[in-house]
Amino acid sequence: MAGRLPEGAAIIGQSGGPTAVINQSLVGVIEGLKGFPSVKKIFGMRHGVDGLIKGLPLVDLGGISSGDLDKLAKTPSAYLGSSRNKPTEADGPKIFDACKTHDIRYFFYIGGNDSSDTCRIVSELCQKTGYEMRCFHVPKTVDNDLMMNDHTPGFGSAARFVAMAFMADDRDNASLPGIKINVVMGRNAGFLTAASSLARQRPSDGPHLIYLPEVPFDTDKFIEDVKGVVGKYGRCQIAVSEGIKDKEGTDIGAKLIAGGQTDAHGNAQLSGSGALGDMLSNLIKEKFKSPSGKPPRVRADTLGYLQRCWPDCSPVDATEARAVGNFAAKEAMSGYPDGSIAIQRLSNHPYKVEKRLVKLSDVAAKTRHMPPEFIAPNGHDVTDRFVEYCKPLVGELPVFFKPE
Amino acid sequence: MAGRLPEGAAIIGQSGGPTAVINQSLVGVIEGLKGFPSVKKIFGMRHGVDGLIKGLPLVDLGGISSGDLDKLAKTPSAYLGSSRNKPTEADGPKIFDACKTHDIRYFFYIGGNDSSDTCRIVSELCQKTGYEMRCFHVPKTVDNDLMMNDHTPGFGSAARFVAMAFMADDRDNASLPGIKINVVMGRNAGFLTAASSLARQRPSDGPHLIYLPEVPFDTDKFIEDVKGVVGKYGRCQIAVSEGIKDKEGTDIGAKLIAGGQTDAHGNAQLSGSGALGDMLSNLIKEKFKSPSGKPPRVRADTLGYLQRCWPDCSPVDATEARAVGNFAAKEAMSGYPDGSIAIQRLSNHPYKVEKRLVKLSDVAAKTRHMPPEFIAPNGHDVTDRFVEYCKPLVGELPVFFKPE
């Protein structure tokens, strides 16, 4: 595809929950745009379209040296600042005014499904008003829940953190045996919780139970599951998604968070609280009678925001995050008007992917869930197929030396 | 010191909360004992003296290959299993019976101040009964609270995790500005919470407030402190020790943990719950009125057990943990009857330490606190002197690229 390219500035924004590699994508776009004469300037918007609407000063990204770009790429969380707000139709003219003022003709928005919807809205407003601006969504989310994608940049690094956390914590829980709950991020999709399964190197290793948002959570079954594992191994390590729901589909965690907050997308607060882990911990303390009559040692950790910002990235995730940004820039420079970049897997052995341009509307505001073939029939585990799928995404994991 | 060495087996145990480098010390003792003809066997006890009392089978440590010892050293948490129980006088004969059965003449116990007290009790029981057994305590604790020590193996790696966590989380909290509380381990000593200060690379970086167990926690002052920081930077990252106490000296966290458990040392459960962070988070949500009238974004994470088991160790900590184990073995082989190994710092530039043999009674069951020169006069920070002290212990930290 060729065609005339509009001349003007490019702008890049970051939106939604940041990741450890979201700045790789930012740098990927910057590097991809350099050297194209149609692109007169490369700007960054502060805190996504919020910053544009509020008239926050733009960031000059074109002037960052290549050495600093490398440092920037390795810095976790959104360099430009992020936003959880969603623009309304009324915000449209303000975004256009800002874009026109700065002569912006290329608009890149790095984010998840809410962010791709923002991108779609902006692109549609452009088309309605006849303002020629190319709009590209660059995928990012630790939740791994974007449609059309085999997986999403940000997920691999978060999955790496989760797998390492469960590996190390299982050793801790084997040292002082007890029941250990670790609550994992993921509002609607269980991919990140499922990644805890990569911590297993042999059958007795944790996590021994994995509870996903895709499987209705039943407290009686939960207690029975835990009893079974404790009877077998004398300890139990449990992965619980922050997004587990009861059989009516109600978020169990959100109900527990006192003064919990809702964002502009109507999402209730799930992270940044230990309430769900503590509730499950108390439930076990109440309901669980060990054979000795002694209450079991029960502890709950909520892995929290470190999952999305821990700086020891998955190398493949870092590379792919940079590459999708770069690809978005290249597609814009090839003359495409808008779209979202998707990663498709071509083969697993050897691991090989390709990037494709897909329609914004195919990704926008939709959620991909764990497919049935990744969920174990017992409802508290993942399948080997999921492990096969996830393993290439996290990089090499340490190998521990364990007692027989 | 020379003298006759008793002939027989050596036994090594691990006790108290595990660390990321406690197996380095285990391997250090094993390597230090090898080649001495007086040492006929090297055993490990499962779950500390508990395992001896219960008659759990011993672990043959002498037969582990040197390649596997290297893997073992890099594996976090207590390989042999740990224990939180403290032997009573009535347990003494059972410990001796087990030691006599296995002809044990060298007893090494890796742990913190409670564990060195266990070691002292065992050593005194030996002397009372005339059973010749050398008893050595090998220091370990992420709390860094052992007397006679400049710092303690395990602390550096935990401090590294805490510093990295605050660095990365501060970027996250700068992306989506709000008030972020991170609760850090440390029952009575604030060293680990204080290590969050290493995350700062420039004045606006978090943590902006640091609350230690050594300074009485006042909720009114806390709210004022947070308001001050939010006014200045538009966000606030807060380090809070799990062991903060009110002005009467009562643990604030322990009161909040429903069904909280007490160990054999009378220590109430502080870790493995998000209750303290959630309480402080709710307090801010209630009391804090931002200039816009909009409630601030408040999140709390409890860094949890990952602090003591995360596998990316501080290199200097790993080296020192191995070295203290080795030194204990060497001192035992030099004929000393008992003692604890202490690390003393000789100089900071260049960083240089030495190991010394100190009396068990000087370390046993005592707690070292943050000295006044490490605590900032404002009561919510540390001094530059603390940063100077702590920096060499954690290894190199990543350097992030940040907006102006």
DSSP secondary structure letters along A230-298: HHHHS-EEEEEETT-B-TT--BHHHHHSTT--B-TTSPBP-SS--HHHHHHHHHHHHH---TTSSPPPE
Residue indicated by tokens 């870790």: B271
Q: What is the pLDDT of residues A141-189, one digit of tens each?
A: 999 999 999 999 999 999 999 999 999 999 999 999 999 999 999 988 9
Q: Mind telling me how many Å the CA of B216 is from chain A's nearest CA?
A: 24
Q: DSSP letter at B262?
A: B
Residue indicated by tokens 């609270």: B145
How many other C-beta atoms can be found within 10 angstroms of the C-beta atom of residue A185? 24
Q: Nearest residue of A to residue B271 by CA position? A: A299
Closest CA to A24 of A328, A327, A323: A323
Helix (H) or strand (E) holding A23: helix A22-33
Say how far apart CA B58 and CA B61 lie, in whole Å: 9
Q: Nearest residue of B to residue A257 by CA position? A: B278
Q: What is the pLDDT at residue A291?
A: 61
Contact B308 A164 (CB under 8 A): no
Contact B271 A299 (CB under 8 A): yes
Q: What is the pLDDT at residue B292?
A: 65
Stretch B49-58: mean pLDDT: 94
Alpha helix locations (H) across B234-274?
252-256
Say how far apart CA A159 and CA A164 lie, in whole Å: 8
Q: What is the pLDDT of residues B179-197, one digit of tens each?
A: 999 999 998 899 999 999 9
Residues in chain A where the model's pLDDT stays below 70 = 1-3, 89, 92, 258-267, 289-294
Q: What is the pLDDT at residue A199?
A: 98
Say how far apart CA B76 and CA B309 lie, in whole Å: 5
Contact A76 B171 (CB under 8 A): yes
Q: Which two tokens stand for residue B215?
A: 């300074």
Q: Which two tokens stand for residue B283?
A: 């307090």
Please, are residues A145 and A369 in contact by the beta-carbon 8 Å criterion?
A: yes
Please, are residues B106 and B39 in contact by the beta-carbon 8 Å criterion?
A: yes
Alpha helix locations (H) across B183-250?
191-194, 219-233
Contacts of B59 in chain A (CB under 8 A): 403
Contact A167 B311 (CB under 8 A): yes
Q: What is the pLDDT at residue B266?
A: 66
Q: What is the pLDDT of residues B105-136, one digit of tens each?
A: 999 999 998 888 888 888 888 888 888 999 99
Say how far apart CA A355 and CA A370 lie, in whole Å: 21
Contacts of B286 in chain A (CB under 8 A): 259
Residue indicated by tokens 């050897």: A350
Say how far apart CA B321 and CA A252 lie, in whole Å: 43
Give the domains, in start order, of chain B with CATH numbers. 8-153+312-363 (3.40.50.450), 155-311+370-394 (3.40.50.460)
Q: What is the pLDDT at residue A122?
A: 84
Question: Which residues are bridge partners to B375 per DSSP?
Answer: B382
A vs B, Cβ pairs < 8 A, gives: 203
Helix (H) or strand (E) holding A80: none
Q: What is the pLDDT at residue B7?
A: 95
Work out the widest C-alpha separation in chain A, in whole angstroms.
Answer: 78
Could you say which of A281, A285, A311 has the minimum Cβ distance to residue B168?
A: A311
Q: What is the pLDDT at residue A5?
A: 92
Residue of A21, A140, A176 to mutate, testing the B interface (most B Cβ within 10 Å of its Cβ): A176
Please, are residues A137 and A149 in contact by the beta-carbon 8 Å criterion?
A: no
Phi, psi dihedral angles at A136 (to 5 degrees): -125, 135
Q: How confident is the model at residue B258 (pLDDT cuts 50, 70, 90)?
A: low
Q: Which two tokens stand for residue A344?
A: 């498709």
Amino acid at B326: N
Q: Which two tokens stand for residue B19?
A: 């660390």
Q: Is the dihedral of CA B373, B378, B379, B384 positive or negative?
A: negative
Contact B172 A309 (CB under 8 A): yes
Q: How far is CA A202 from CA A197, A376, B35, B256, B335, in A?
A: 11, 18, 34, 37, 43
Q: What is the pLDDT at residue A121?
A: 84
Q: What is the pLDDT at residue B56?
A: 95
Stretch B261-278: mean pLDDT: 76
Say how far apart CA A257 and CA A267 lie, in whole Å: 13
Say how far apart CA B153 and CA B161 lie, in whole Å: 14
Say how far apart CA A256 and CA A244 lie, in whole Å: 12
DSSP secondary structure, B332-358, as one string: HHTT--EEEEEEEEEEETTEEEEEEEE
Could you say which of B77, B257, B295 has the minimum Cβ distance to residue A172?
A: B77
Say how far apart CA A286 and CA A288 lie, in whole Å: 6
Please, are residues B166 and A72 in contact by the beta-carbon 8 Å criterion?
A: no
Q: Which two tokens stand for residue A371?
A: 């497919």
Angle (nearest 5°) at CA A106 between A100 and A107: 90
Contact A261 B297 (CB under 8 A): yes
Q: What is the pLDDT at residue B129?
A: 82
Contact A77 B309 (CB under 8 A): no
Q: How confident is the model at residue B223 (pLDDT cuts 50, 70, 90)?
A: very high
Q: What is the pLDDT at residue A258?
A: 62
Q: Nearest residue of B to residue A60 by CA position? A: B403
Contact A81 B177 (CB under 8 A): yes
Contacts of B261 in chain A (CB under 8 A): 295, 297
CB contact set of B65 (below 8 Å; sequence gap of 6+): none
CA B277 to chain centre: 21
Contact A75 B277 (CB under 8 A): no
Contacts of B180 in chain A (CB under 8 A): 272, 305
Contact B305 A258 (CB under 8 A): no
Q: What is the pLDDT at residue A264?
A: 60
Q: What is the pLDDT of residues B76-89, one digit of tens each?
A: 999 999 998 877 76
Could you say which of B295, B299, B305 has the minimum Cβ distance to residue A169?
A: B305
Contacts of B154 in chain A (CB under 8 A): none
- Whether the pLDDT of residue B96 is over 90: the answer is no
Q: What is the pLDDT at residue A289?
A: 67
DSSP secondary structure, A196-222, as one string: GGGG-SSTTPSP-EEE-TTS---HHHH
Say how far apart CA A72 and CA A85 lie, in whole Å: 25
Q: Mind telling me how many Å the CA of B282 is from chain A's nearest CA?
A: 7
Q: What is the pLDDT at residue A313?
A: 97
Say how far apart CA B366 and CA B147 lie, in whole Å: 7
Say how far apart CA B231 and CA A340 lie, in whole Å: 39
Phi, psi dihedral angles at A355 (to 5 degrees): -105, 140
Q: What is the pLDDT at residue A97?
A: 82
Q: Nearest residue of A to residue B76 by CA position? A: A168
Please, are residues A11 and A58 in contact by the beta-carbon 8 Å criterion?
A: yes
Q: Is B322 helix (H, G, I), strand (E, B) or coil?
A: helix
User: What number of CA atoms fall less than 13 Å from residue B241's CA on the CB side?
Assistant: 31
Q: What is the pLDDT at residue B91?
A: 77
Stretch B99-104: mean pLDDT: 91
Contacts of A180 in chain B (CB under 8 A): 272, 305
Contact A311 B258 (CB under 8 A): no
Q: Is A59 helix (H, G, I), strand (E, B) or coil?
A: strand
Could you say which of A172, A281, A311 has the minimum Cβ distance to residue B398?
A: A311
Contact A297 B261 (CB under 8 A): yes
Q: What is the pLDDT of residues B325-373, one digit of tens each?
A: 999 999 999 989 899 999 999 999 999 999 999 999 999 878 899 999 9
Q: Mind telling me how many Å the CA of B309 is from chain A's nearest CA?
A: 6
Say how far apart CA B208 and CA B205 lie, in whole Å: 7
Amino acid at A196: S
Contact A298 B272 (CB under 8 A): yes
Average pLDDT of chain B is 92
Q: DSSP letter at B107?
A: E
Stretch B33-49: mean pLDDT: 96
Contact B301 A272 (CB under 8 A): yes
Closest CA to B46 of B93, B2, B83, B96: B83
Q: How far is CA B146 from CA A61, B107, B113, B143, B150, in A?
A: 50, 20, 6, 8, 9
Per annotation, catalytic residue among B143, B145, B205, B381: B143
Could you say which of B14, B176, B303 has the minimum Cβ distance to residue A84?
A: B176
Q: DSSP letter at B373?
A: G
B145 flagged as catalytic: no
Please, are residues B287 and B218 in contact by the beta-carbon 8 Å criterion?
A: no
Per annotation, catalytic residue among A91, A117, A143, A317: A143
Residue of A161, A172, A284 to mutate, testing the B interface (most B Cβ within 10 Å of its Cβ): A172
Contacts of A164 in chain B (CB under 8 A): 310-311
Q: Mind telling me how many Å the CA of A318 is from chain B's nearest CA?
A: 15
| ipTM here | 0.95
Closest CA to A21 of A92, A72, A97: A72
- B22-33 and B66-73 helices, crossing angle to 10°: 150
CA A181 to chain centre: 21
Q: Is B364 helix (H, G, I), strand (E, B) or coil?
A: coil
Contacts of A172 in chain B (CB under 8 A): 18, 76-77, 305, 308-309
Could you say which of A75, A306, A403 has the minimum Cβ distance to residue B165?
A: A306
